């Protein structure tokens, strides 16, 4: 039996096994089949499918973390949160800061930049231009080529480890658990959308 770390509540919210409760209904973030929390005293606590589905632990974890990130970002935009973040640019070595949600209007859960480059979450402005992407990283994905592709775009990329645990509901807490890179073509003095300018997929 495969042990899973995440499931969805009856309301569709991702929950780690550390927050599971007996008697509650849970489903798989990937196939949406019913899952059972195993909370006994003999084995490490985990979720299990009621029936074998073939879902891998890695794919289920990525689907759950992707859903959790999407919910947090949509809530942040709806409540007009400011998401200030600071990081050291991998291209110029300087410290940058920006409001990562400024100009963002739509959060896409599962986002194809093009037919071959997939991000777990896409942040897009009202005109459909990409402001940034978020990728969930485990031992398998994203591939090095995919990661290099996104890091070379003039938008920001946030890499969130699949081992992340919910530690709050605000975007700043989420970002603090990952790494930020991006907008290497933009200088600190630029004004449109802080440090970043959202850009069309066609321009990359």
pLDDT at residue 196, as a whole number: 39
- Whether the pLDDT of residue 187 is over 50: the answer is no
Residue 141 vs residue 189, higher pLDDT: 141
pLDDT at residue 154, as a whole number: 82
CA angle 141, 30, 1 (to 5 degrees): 90
Residue 124's alpha-carbon distances to 22, 53, 131, 134, in angstroms, are 39, 34, 5, 12
Q: What is the pTM of this model?
A: 0.82
Assess contact for 197 and 186: CB atoms under 8 A: yes
Task: With H, G, I as helix, E, B as strand and everything else as coil, classify residue 119.
Answer: strand
pLDDT at residue 194, as a whole number: 33
- Whether the pLDDT of residue 45 is over 90: the answer is yes
| pLDDT digits 0-9 by tens, 69-109 | 999 889 889 998 877 777 766 667 777 777 888 899 999 99
- For residue 121 the two structure tokens come to 């979450």
**Using omega within 30 degrees of 0 as the cis cutoff, is the peptide bond preceding 142 cis?**
yes
Residue 90's alpha-carbon distances to 104, 141, 160, 161, in angstroms, are 23, 21, 16, 18
Percent of the chain with pLDDT over 90: 50
């Amino acid at each position: 039996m495969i042990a899973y770390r995440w499931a969805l509540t009856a309301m569709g919210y991702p929950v780690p096994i550390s927050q599971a409760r007996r008697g509650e209904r849970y489903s798989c973030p990937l196939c949406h089949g019913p899952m059972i929390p195993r909370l006994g005293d003999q084995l490490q606590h985990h979720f299990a499918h009621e029936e074998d589905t073939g879902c891998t632990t890695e794919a289920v974890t990525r689907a759950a973390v992707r859903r959790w990130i999407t919910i947090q970002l949509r809530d942040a935009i709806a409540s007009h949160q400011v998401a200030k973040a600071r990081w050291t640019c991998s291209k110029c070595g300087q410290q940058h800061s920006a409001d990562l949600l400024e100009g963002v209007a739509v959060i896409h859960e599962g986002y194809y930049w093009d037919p071959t480059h997939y991000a777990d979450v896409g942040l897009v402005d009202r005109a459909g231009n990409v402001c940034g992407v978020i990728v969930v990283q485990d031992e398998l994905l994203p591939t090095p080529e995919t990661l290099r592709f996104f890091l070379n775009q003039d938008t920001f990329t946030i890499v969130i480890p699949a081992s992340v645990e919910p530690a709050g509901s605000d975007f700043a807490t989420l970002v603090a658990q990952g790494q930020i890179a991006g907008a290497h073509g933009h200088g600190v003095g630029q004004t449109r959308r802080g440090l970043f300018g959202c850009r069309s997929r066609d321009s990359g």
